[in-house]
Amino acid sequence: MSDTMTDTRPITAPDTPDEARKKITLYLGLVLGLIVIDQVTKFIVERSLRLYDPVPVLGDFFRLTYIFNRGAAFGIHLGEWSRLAFTILPVVAAGLLFVMYRQTPWRDRTRLVSIALVTGGAIGNLIDRVRSSRGVVDFFDVGFGDVRWPVFNVADIGVTIGALLLAVSLWREEQKLEKEEDVAG
């Protein structure tokens, strides 16, 4: 019987050495892979596109538009504090996500993948903020005419997909715990 006053997480067996090796390989592979793809695409964009000059790929719907984003996702901006805040936030987030990664068992691959994607994306954009006061390089531009989604990059895709997968993983865990409580109750 678990002590619900102190810990509501189910007690699980620790990862075997083989599972721990697979877990770190998955995590580092995804984090580093996403960072490399993100930085390589930004390098190519900076050397092949002109700033603020849209290049149609699928007509007006999908364009490549090289911009700098001093704010955060979806144009969130904190004025003169943006660079500092959006440099500290991903460092703190990466630390918290690493703790979450360490607590996640190998069998929960959805959560492990989600944590790695969010971490890799956060670090990818952090590299831009540290490297340049102009901000993060964004270039994927989707929309119709003047109705456009905020311009984004590969790191943003990783963060978004990772966050969605993390929400699914947490929701599944909650559903499982509720079902177990119903059976026990």
Task: Note the pLDDT of residue 59.
Answer: 97
- From 38, 128, 141, 156, active-site residue: 156
Secondary structure letter of residue 51 according to DSSP: B
Nearest residue to 123 via CA among 169, 92, 146, 148? 92
Task: Note the pLDDT of residue 74.
Answer: 61
Spell 126-137 as b/e; 16+ CB within 10 A means b: bbbbeeeeebbb
Whether 156 is a known active-site residue: answer yes
Task: Provide the whole-model pTM.
Answer: 0.87
- Dihedral, CA of residue 167, residue 125, residue 40 and residue 106, to nearest 10: -30
Task: Note the pLDDT of residue 5.
Answer: 45
Per-10-residue mean pLDDT, the chain, length 185: 47 84 98 98 98 98 95 70 83 95 96 98 95 94 96 97 96 89 79
Question: Could you report the per-residue pLDDT of 73-104, keeping only the tens digit for each?
Answer: 666 767 777 778 888 999 999 999 999 999 99
Give the sign of the dihedral formed by CA 170, CA 174, CA 177, CA 183.
Answer: negative
d(Cα 85, Cα 19) in Å, to the nearest integer?
36
Task: Note the pLDDT of residue 83.
Answer: 77
- From 138, 141, 146, 182, active-site residue: 138
